Amino acid sequence: MNKIIVALGTLAVIAALSSSPAGAGDVTRLAGAGVAVSGQPVAGSTLTAQPAAWSAQPDTRRYEWLRDGEDAVLGRERTYTVVPADVGHTLVVVERVTVGDQRDETSAASPLVAATPGASPPSTAVPAAPAAAPAPAAARTPAVSVSRPTISGRAAVGKRLRLRSKGAWNAAGHSYRYQWLRDGKAIRGATKTSYRLTTKDRRKRMTVTVTARRSGYPTVSATSARTARVR
């Protein structure tokens, strides 16, 4: 079995800039490198977010650490100490900035987390090819959700909600699946890019989850913000 994690000093990372919210200009566009992660992705070590370079000095910078790009925030400081539950996952840091009334963000992902330096995370090792082994440290990089999906449409019984955007992803070669939820619970059969609201949805809040899939890679999901209560 080939080891897919090696001890690293400063990590190479995957960074992407998400779109600015409606009405925001390009004052905060990236002027150089995006946010980056330094440190070793092993249990017990500390990772540090290296601030991005913006075209205007941000008034505020906020950080969020996520596991596999999912919504649950692990920490909100520039540093994050890797815990055993992170082993076998990718840690993502998001830097959110404000310049006046404008907002923007950029994110970066670490390699898969290992239990100890040089060790392979459980169930993620890539078997050697029959003819030739893959290149050393050739990790299967999971999909990374850079920004969450968005919904359009009126939240009223009989109206149709649509997936306005599946969000921004770093997920080359992945396919996407969709699931609509009612107050956080999956609705059976609601797996298209649109959903017509029924009487069961009245007074509920709706979300849609987008899942990135690729054979042999970790499955990663991102969920939209909730709608207003359905009328």
pLDDT of residue 134: 42
**How does residue 121 score in pLDDT terms, banded at 50, 70 and 90?**
low
Same domain, 74 and 102: yes
How many other C-beta atoms lie within 10 A of the C-beta of residue 188? 8
Residue 136 resides in a domain: no
Same domain, 92 and 52: yes
pLDDT of residue 140: 67
Residue 134 resides in a domain: no
| CB-based contact 89:112 (threshold 8 Å) | yes
- Is pLDDT larger for residue 171 or for residue 140? 171
Same domain, 19 and 100: yes
Tokens coding 145: 């959700």
Residue 158 backbone dihedrals phi, psi, to 5 degrees? 90, -20
- Nearest to 183, CA basis, from 156, 202, 211: 202
Q: Tell me the per-residue pLDDT of 83-101, one tens digit each, with 9 for 90 and over.
A: 988 888 888 888 888 888 8
Same domain, 113 and 216: no
Residue 160 resides in a domain: yes
**How does residue 3 score in pLDDT terms, banded at 50, 70 and 90?**
very low
pLDDT > 50? residue 25: no
The Cα–Cα gap between 27 and 101 comes to 11
Q: Locate tokens 């959700």: which residue?
A: 145
Residue 207 resides in a domain: yes
- Nearest to 171, CA basis, from 205, 144, 139: 144
Same domain, 42 and 101: yes
For 109, the domain range is 14-126
Structural domain count of the chain: 2
Same domain, 19 and 121: yes
The Cα–Cα gap between 180 and 208 comes to 4
Residue where a domain terminates, one of 73, 97, 126 = 126
Mean pLDDT of the chain: 78
- Nearest to 39, CA basis, from 106, 113, 122: 113
Q: Domain of 66: which CATH number?
A: 2.60.40.2700
| CB-based contact 21:103 (threshold 8 Å) | yes
